[in-house]
Amino acid sequence: MEKEFSRVRSAKDITITATLIIAGCVLVALPTSASINITGFFLIFTGLILAFVLRTGYKDNETGERYCKVEKFFAQSLKSEITNALETSLKKLNLSEEDKGNGIRLDIYYSRKTGKSYSQLFEYIPYKYEPCTGQYELETAEIESVIGK
């Protein structure tokens, strides 16, 4: 059962773009100097660009549930240790070794609302990351120490 996730706009993305556009409109509408109006147009332009580009949320294509994503990078030598931690418990994962190499990547999609999370390990093959394990379904409570929130 492999889950497929697609990128979508999160509430945070919408809030950021709406705030920029509204702030820009307010600055343009105020009877102030030209430099303030230029700043307002810049904020509007930035908000519109971000509205088209910014997508930090993820959606399960099958069920439509929304997820957040965390990526952790580890050295290639830790592949078996991380695979064992995925099969048993991610609480056993040694996070002090994180960011000491980028040979493997651990992707974690999680939803606090549903309490579900999906983890998968990827291995760097020149020019891209290829999956080296299947997806593991875990409870979000099990991965709290890994996602750090």
Q: Mark whether 73 and 131 lie in a shared domain.
A: yes
Q: Mark whether 85 and 31 lie in a shared domain.
A: no
Q: Mark whether 97 and 37 lie in a shared domain.
A: no
Domain residue limits at 48: 5-58
What pLDDT score does 149 carry? Answer: 59
Q: Mark whether 54 and 119 lie in a shared domain.
A: no
Q: What angle do CA 96, 99, 104 make, to 5 degrees?
A: 110
Q: Mark whether 75 and 140 lie in a shared domain.
A: yes
pLDDT in tens, 51-98: 999 998 999 888 889 999 989 888 888 888 888 888 887 777 777 767
Report how many domains make up the chain: 2
Is pLDDT at 27 greater than 90 in this prediction? yes
What pLDDT score does 93 carry? Answer: 75
Q: Mark whether 45 and 80 lie in a shared domain.
A: no
**CA 33 remoteness from chain centre:** 40
Mean pLDDT of the chain: 88
Q: Mark whether 93 and 41 lie in a shared domain.
A: no
Q: Mark whether 83 and 31 lie in a shared domain.
A: no
Are the C-beta atoms of 89 and 141 separated by less than 8 Å? Answer: no
Q: Mark whether 87 and 35 lie in a shared domain.
A: no
Entry pTM: 0.80
Percent of the chain predicted with pLDDT > 90: 42
Q: Mark whether 52 and 81 lie in a shared domain.
A: no
Last residue of a domain, one of 42, 58, 74: 58
Q: Mark whether 22 and 76 lie in a shared domain.
A: no
pLDDT in tens, 100-123: 777 899 899 998 888 888 999 999
Tokens representing 57? Answer: 């949320």
Q: Mark whether 110 and 138 lie in a shared domain.
A: yes
Distance, in Å, from the CA atom of 122 to the CA atom of 88, rounded to the nearest integer, reads 18
